């Protein structure tokens, strides 16, 4: 199954607009050798690895286990029926820190029942190759036709972070700190609210987000998030506790008192549609869907460039010991899948 392929990386002119603090400059890059690790994934969303085994959530409600050259699709038994709305389904998925002992994971999924459509965060337990929903941690996160958010990540503080979208139908909820929509949330692993969260008795960590889908931390504990903008003006943000990131009042480099400006934004003429992300050696690596690439953001120089392209839509990024793994997302109804799509790829960062 594994084979080397050459992907041509393209040079695109910088498109970020606004003040000098947020401008980005494209730089030339070389061709990169990328290896296919696994094929025939079904709308993959989140990459996890333990030892040499991968567990990748698939939006249709399964988990693909990849162990060497062997692949097996594991069933996920949920207590609610998955919603079939665009972008909805089994989204965020992270193995518990003690997974080797407990066989537990955390999941974020969109469901629909007689009361409406929502997102929820639950624990799953793996037994006999079947994941079963065990405990509900958080329910009734706003959902709509689009913009479900859905990324789950553990922070260096051992808390669970979740991104939520504005549910598309009512963007104003992103500014309402009483709503769970359009936020980055922070939870204890038992589902309770951390005492040191910035708002009293609230899961909300930051607000004013449109549809954030990526989270990562630097070695010194700084949190960054990726966010889908409205028909461009996609953002990469440095996240601060209690920070307001402006949606829907402002976009891109527009300014408003008390609102955080993006570290990077794609401008009015380019759409990245950024999703999963990871940090390595002073740089952020971000999966882009409309951008059809893995994109690198240098935190020191503020330059940004494509480092891998030619595989179509890219949903998630994972980095381990200098190797960058990423999944394509061409089977999600918005791409142009080829035979074998979707795939898990890898590339050595020192060869990029």
Q: What is the pLDDT of residue 169?
A: 84
Contacts 24+ apart (CB under 8 A), 268-273: 268/17, 268/232, 268/233, 269/15, 269/232, 270/12, 270/15, 270/232, 271/229, 271/231, 271/232, 271/234, 272/234, 273/228, 273/234
SS3 percent helix, strand, coil of the chain, rounded to 5, is 5, 45, 50
Closest CA relative to residue 299, chosen from 285, 316, 320, 319: 285
Rounded CA-CA distance 224/299 in Å is: 11
Tokens at 276, concatenated: 């999963």
- Name the band, by pLDDT with cuts 50, 70 and 90, for residue 8: very low
Residue indicated by tokens 């990029």: 352
Q: Residue 79: which residues within 8 A CB-CB, separation 6 or more? A: 122, 133, 136
Beta-bridged to residue 291, according to DSSP, are none
| Pick from 14-23, 122-131, 264-273, 306-315: least confident | 14-23
**Has residue 26 got a pLDDT over 70?**
no
Rounded CA-CA distance 227/165 in Å is: 9
Beta-bridged to residue 7, according to DSSP, are 32
Backbone angles phi, psi at 175, to 5 degrees: -90, -5
Contact yes or no for 289/336 (Cβ under 8 A): no
Mean pLDDT of 148-164: 98
Rounded CA-CA distance 174/168 in Å is: 10
In the chain, what are the domains?
Answer: 3-351 (2.120.10.30)
Cis-peptide into 342, omega within 30 deg: yes
Closest CA relative to residue 144, chosen from 178, 119, 162, 120: 119
Mean pLDDT of 256-267: 96
Number of H helices, E strands in the chain: 1, 25
* pLDDT, tens digit (0-9, with 9 covering 90-100), for 54-90: 999 999 999 999 999 999 999 999 999 999 999 999 9
Other C-beta atoms within 10 Å of 224: how many?
Answer: 22
Tokens at 250, concatenated: 């402002």
Rounded CA-CA distance 269/229 in Å is: 12
**Has residue 31 got a pLDDT over 60?**
no
Rounded CA-CA distance 221/224 in Å is: 10
Mean pLDDT of 300-307: 96
Q: What is the pLDDT of residue 3?
A: 40
* pLDDT, tens digit (0-9, with 9 covering 90-100), for 314-352: 999 999 999 999 999 999 999 999 999 999 999 999 877
Containing 186, the helix (H) or strand (E) segment is strand 183-187
Cis-peptide into 203, omega within 30 deg: no
Q: CB-hemisphere CA count at 13 Å for 94?
A: 21
Contacts 24+ apart (CB under 8 A), 78-83: 78/109, 78/111, 78/122, 78/133, 79/122, 79/133, 79/136, 80/109, 80/111, 80/112, 80/113, 80/120, 81/111, 81/112, 81/113, 82/109, 82/110, 82/111, 82/112, 83/110, 83/111, 83/112, 83/117, 83/143
Rounded CA-CA distance 93/46 in Å is: 6
**Has residue 21 got a pLDDT over 90?**
no
Q: What is the pLDDT of residue 32?
A: 67
Rounded CA-CA distance 308/292 in Å is: 9
């Amino acid at each position: 199954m594994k084979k080397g392929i050459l992907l041509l990386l393209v040079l695109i002119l910088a498109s970020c607009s606004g003040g000098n603090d947020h401008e980005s400059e494209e730089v030339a890059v070389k061709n990169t050798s990328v290896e296919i690790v696994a094929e025939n994934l079904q709308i993959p969303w989140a990459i996890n690895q333990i030892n040499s085994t991968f567990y990748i959530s698939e939006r249709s409600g399964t988990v693909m286990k990849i162990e060497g050259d062997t692949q097996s699709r594991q069933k996920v038994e949920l207590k609610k029926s998955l919603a079939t709305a665009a972008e909805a389904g089994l989204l965020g998925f992270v193995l518990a820190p003690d997974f080797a002992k407990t066989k537990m994971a955390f999941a974020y999924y969109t469901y629909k029942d007689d009361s409406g459509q929502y997102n929820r965060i639950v624990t799953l337990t793996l037994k006999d190759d079947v994941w079963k929903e065990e405990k509900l941690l958080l329910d009734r996160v706003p959902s709509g036709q689009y913009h479900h958010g859905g990324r789950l990540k553990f922070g260096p503080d051992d808390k669970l972070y979740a991104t939520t979208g504005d549910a598309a139908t009512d963007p104003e909820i992103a500014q309402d700190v009483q709503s769970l929509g359009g936020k980055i949330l922070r939870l204890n692993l038992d589902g309770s609210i951390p005492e040191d969260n910035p708002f009293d008795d609230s899961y909300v960590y930051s607000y004013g987000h449109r549809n954030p889908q990526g989270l990562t931390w630097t070695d010194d504990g700084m949190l960054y998030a990726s966010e889908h903008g409205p028909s461009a003006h996609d953002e990469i943000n440095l996240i601060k506790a209690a920070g307001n990131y402006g949606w829907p009042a402002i976009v891109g480099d527009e300014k408003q008192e008390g609102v955080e400006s993006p570290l990077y934004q794609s401008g009015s003429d380019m759409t990245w549609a950024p999703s999963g992300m990871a940090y390595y050696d002073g740089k952020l690596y971000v999966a882009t869907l409309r951008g059809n690439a893995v994109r690198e953001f240098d935190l020191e120089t503020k330059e940004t460039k494509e480092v891998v392209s030619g595989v179509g839509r890219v949903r998630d990024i994972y980095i381990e010991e200098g190797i960058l793994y990423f999944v394509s997302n061409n089977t999600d109804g918005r791409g142009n899948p080829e035979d074998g799509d979707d795939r898990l790829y890898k590339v050595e960062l020192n060869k990029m």
